[in-house]
Amino acid sequence: MNDASRTNTRALPMPDLRGSFPGPFPASPHASDIEQHAVQWLHTFPLISSPRALGALSDITAQGMARTFPTADQNGLFLCADLFLWLTAFDDAHGEAAGARDPARLVRRISECVHLLAGHNDPPGESSAFVAALRDLLARFGERATPTQYLRLTAHLRDNLFGILWEAHHLDRPEHVTMHDYRAMRPHTVFVRTVMATAEVTLGYELTDSQRSSAAVRELETAVADLAGWINDLASYAKETADDGPSPLSLPTLLMRQHKCDLEEAFRLASHMCEKQATAARARITELAASKERPLIVHARAVESVASSYVWHIDHSRYQIP
Amino acid sequence: MNDASRTNTRALPMPDLRGSFPGPFPASPHASDIEQHAVQWLHTFPLISSPRALGALSDITAQGMARTFPTADQNGLFLCADLFLWLTAFDDAHGEAAGARDPARLVRRISECVHLLAGHNDPPGESSAFVAALRDLLARFGERATPTQYLRLTAHLRDNLFGILWEAHHLDRPEHVTMHDYRAMRPHTVFVRTVMATAEVTLGYELTDSQRSSAAVRELETAVADLAGWINDLASYAKETADDGPSPLSLPTLLMRQHKCDLEEAFRLASHMCEKQATAARARITELAASKERPLIVHARAVESVASSYVWHIDHSRYQIP
């Protein structure tokens, strides 16, 4: 894609979320500690070979996590940051283009992780840095989480790995993906439900089953899950089309096809979808924060800050064209 | 493969499990009710198009489930039988050869299931019989299981679906599969850990976390998980090589490669591995059945009957060459 169309991409309509998530977003005072820890953790578990990529990912993860859980203790922040680093680095190393080139190899890398997630810790002859790092993460979450929280988290991680696999199989053929498929899978590839699941572990609360299955909680989580994936799609569109490849597997691509419209109109439609979900999320946050049940109040605030971190992170340099 | 080599396959060494699992195995008096119910359920949810295949699968599932949970109530047996039917029919329809031909299509079929397993019940525009049947199963398990049992079950189901996907990616290239990979994934493709997980739901008990993570329970479950997959491999080898295709993704194939030996020696080695795991399982069953903790006793007996059903079912006609 040439410079003129880059400029065009940047000028496309973007969602206006200032009404729902106005910012500035509160940030933990531990942001720089998280970054130092992240760099150290990635030294222990070398998941990223490029020093530049390592630095950028540590920075955005630290700043993002400081906004995801602004009131969390340092160890909780370190743990969630490491998990997010792991997911992102795994996706970068084995998913996306690498996964599309050799899906069977990606399946084998995931099978090693599924083995750990299913509770089988016996080490293979030699284990990769990703396997060793996942083992470290699961042990640390196992210490901090209740057994049920741990089950929920490892279920979400399976869904993330499956999402990475789903994406690798369809990266070069978005025409096979229906809008329904896409809406179902996108939250898994942006890891947002996993981040929401870590809130209970990190902040030390637990919803009851009836609270969790209430319409208010479910709709809040769905709205934030959609919002996180869609704004990520809009923010990363320019980067993903910078090499002039085929249309990315992304909301604007699917909207152009569905509505037989151009890119600008697709961005306008997508922005409207984002604003609608942001409004829905804000309404549910307000409703739950006014409840009398403390776990619901804590959860509403946690999901609010999760959403805020996604709203914040789309402006980060990771998504700018170099 | 010609008739002479079929005869050879049938004459290959097979494990002698009479010492560990002597039989005859107790069977529920509801076997014929399970079969009638299975046929009816497959009428409501048409997962199998061939009447002959439907009849054979209903028969083996009913007889097998009657031996898996000989003391369970009728509704529990119906539910477990339907789940096993669903897994087997899904594998037959979308996994194996069909999945190997078009893995991306298999990924899309699985993504619809993952969406339900993750707790999102919103129906797509139109849902397949497999999706509708899975929704029915999850609703019924949701009524009967505790929330934690349900989380555990849905985690195992994700692993089964991933196992089907792993197998589809490697069916035609067993040379990419290490013995460690194979041992890790085989329990998922034979569904045995899922069947063990349904025991607690069906028989109405729940292990404590410390009981579940005890060496005795873990080693018992691992021994039975290995045994189930391996005896299935040996029993189905003749059928899987009947069309003279490439070596199946199966324990004998991997042992021939690992030990540079012929098929007979591989069967001898595999039989010895089966016997060893059967002996280990029996020792742990005896140990746990003598414990003072009731859930451990019930669990030991349940896993014993799960193992027995796999030992029993390898002689069923599904695995005979037609």
- At B83-128, the pLDDT tens digits run 999 999 999 999 989 999 999 999 999 999 999 999 987 755 568 9
In Å, how far is A219's CA from the nearest CA of chain B? Answer: 11
Contact B169 A193 (CB under 8 A): no
For residues B232 and B234, give the distance between their C-alpha atoms in angstroms, rounded to a whole number: 5
Does A12 fall in a domain? no
Q: CB–CB of A162 and B110 under 8 A?
A: yes
Residue B218 lies in a domain: yes
Share the mean pLDDT of chain B: 92
Q: What is the pLDDT of residues B260-312, one digit of tens each?
A: 999 999 999 999 999 999 999 999 999 999 999 999 999 999 999 999 999 99
Among candidates A152, A162, A193 on the partner chain, residue whose Cβ is nearest the Cβ of B162: A162
- Strands, E, within chain A: which ranges? none
Q: How far apart are the C-alpha atoms of A206 and A293, rounded to whole Å? A: 12
**Which of A107, A124, A125 is facing B169, going by the closest CB pair?**
A107
With a CB cutoff of 8 Å and minimum separation 6, the contacts of B186 are: B163, B225, B226, B229, B230, B233, B251
CA gap B61, A50 in Å, rounded? 53
The kind and range of the H/E element at A156 are helix A147-170
Per-residue pLDDT tens listing for chain A (322 residues) = 333 334 455 589 999 999 999 989 999 999 999 999 999 999 999 999 999 999 999 999 999 999 999 999 999 999 999 999 999 999 999 998 999 999 999 999 999 999 999 998 775 556 899 999 999 999 999 999 999 999 999 999 999 999 999 999 999 888 899 999 999 999 999 999 999 999 999 999 999 999 999 999 999 999 999 999 999 999 988 777 877 677 889 999 999 999 999 999 999 999 999 999 999 999 999 999 999 999 999 999 999 999 999 999 876 645 554 4
In a domain, B44, yes or no: yes
A-B CB pairs within 8 A amount to: 103
B174: cis peptide before it, omega within 30°? no
Residue A1 lies in a domain: no
Q: What is the DSSP string of B146-170?
A: -HHHHHHHHHHHHHHHHHHHHHHHH
**Structure tokens, A175:** 């025409």
B201-249 tens-digit pLDDT? 999 999 999 999 999 999 999 999 999 999 999 998 877 787 767 788 9
Q: Would you call A124 and B170 a contact, using CB atoms and an 8 Å cutoff?
A: no
In a domain, B64, yes or no: yes
Helix (H) or strand (E) holding B81: helix B74-94
Chain A nearest C-alpha distance from B322 (Å): 32
The answer to whether residue B142 is domain-embedded is yes
CB contact under 8 A, A165 and B165: yes
- Please report the ipTM that was assigned to this predicted complex: 0.93
Residue B179 is predicted with a pLDDT of 93
Report the gap between the CA of A180 and the closest CA in chain B (Å): 7
* C-alpha to C-alpha distance for A281 and A285, rounded to whole angstroms: 6
Residue numbers of the domain that contains B34: 30-319
- The per-residue pLDDT for A202 is 97
Say if A223 falls within a structural domain.
yes
Q: Looking at per-residue confidence, does A316 or B192 come out higher?
A: B192
- For A111, the closest of B117, B154, B166 (CB atoms) is B166
Measure in Å the smallest separation between the Cα of B125 and chain A Cα atoms: 8
Chain A residue numbers touching B177 (CB-CB < 8 A)? 108
Distance between CA B180 and CA B182 in Å, rounded? 5
| Cα distances (Å, whole numbers) of residue A116 to A10, A77, B111, B151 | 42, 23, 21, 17
CB B147 to CB A209 under 8 A?
A: yes
CATH of the domain at A109: 1.10.600.10
Number of domains present in the structure of chain B: 1
CA distance B300 to B202: 14
Considering the domain boundaries, does residue B8 fall inside one?
A: no
Residues in A closer than 8 angstroms to B124, CB to CB, are 178, 180, 184
